A = this chain, B = another copy of it.
């Protein structure tokens, strides 16, 4: 007899999520798995999706940051991405997308995050067709064949994994592409999840002084706990010129060696380049969504002899590294504490609103 399960479904943009039921698959195909959802993180991108700012098909079960327990394994799926044996009952997480491994971007240019075949759980799959459960805001999650699955070490709480969320792997990839040299002074623009994750990665990647610029007292407090030497409040520095001046003052008058943009507002990019020292590096990390154009003078790149980097999403090896990093640094970087707001599946819509309204550091749904 077919089992059914609940999901919170985005059926039309800017409207409340609807509770729906779908049948679970009778059988899991070879290489696939069925997972009982334990925690589903709410990412800022979910808010953009809900507002219709990205071109997706509806209805969709949102949620691309998920931890769950394996309840069924398809034939041939015997190990996780790292080669560790996989069994029913294991607690796992996974990359929200899978690259093809064979195309121009995957095989020739080694930029698998730009593979045209990528399609993300919680974003790119309609839920009105089987296997339905391809997003985190649901009691179950179906993992298609070739999904990059990772067993979570027993001494790593699910709260840490979801507290870090996709922000951490995004930041790991971005900092890898940018390169932080030992002793570099680093500025992080933004105190949202990506900013906090960028701070943690920069701090642990050898940065000398780390200056975070952001808003909201509870987030700046977390920044200090995570080792920011300075957590500057934009409420105290309302003008762009003031913020640039503050960075310069804290960096010997020159600007920072590396600036990480984790904001997503185009003007932050114009401002941030002026926070770099000449010859410095600038990472545009917060622009997953299209926030439109800004008036920008490209001469700044020539005159200041900058290096500017972009980074899109992340690869499975970043998730592997993230889990090991979270496990080893629970005291130093307590990502679990980011989970300030918890909700049941029936409260999914409310959960999304706390994120949209920036009330939470991180909201999470516990469907179980």
Which residues in A have some Cβ–Cβ distance to B below 8 Å?
Answer: 81-83, 101, 103-105, 107-111, 113-114, 172, 175-177, 180-183, 201, 204-206, 208, 252, 254, 266, 269, 277-279, 284-312, 316-317, 320-321, 324-325, 328
- Copies per complex of this chain: 4
Q: B residues within 8 A CB of A113?
A: 305
Beyond A81-B107, A205-B206, 4 additional pairs, beta carbon < 8 A: A176-B181, A180-B182, A295-B296, A307-B308
- Can you give 25 contacting A-B residue pairs, CB < 8 Å? A82-B108, A83-B104, A105-B279, A107-B317, A108-B317, A111-B305, A176-B182, A182-B201, A182-B204, A182-B321, A205-B206, A266-B297, A266-B299, A269-B298, A284-B298, A286-B302, A290-B297, A291-B299, A294-B295, A294-B297, A294-B298, A301-B310, A302-B311, A305-B312, A308-B308
State the CA gap A103–B114 with chains docked (Å). Answer: 21
- Chain B residue nearest to A324 (CB atoms) is B208
- Which B residues touch A324, using CB under 8 A? 183, 208
Q: Is the CB of B287 within 8 A of A298?
A: yes
Chain B residues in 8 Å Cβ range of A293: 295-297
CA distance A103 to B212 in the complex (A): 27
The reply to whether B310 and A287 contact each other, CB–CB distance below 8 Å, is no
Measured CB to CB, the nearest residue on chain B to A106 is B101
**Chain B: CB-nearest residue to A268:** B298
Q: B81 touching A103 by the CB < 8 A rule?
A: no
Q: Are B176 and A279 in contact (CB under 8 A)?
A: no
Distance to closest chain B CB from A257 (angstroms): 8
Judging by beta carbons under 8 Å apart, are A114 and B292 in contact?
no
CA separation between A289 and B284, bound complex, in Å? 25
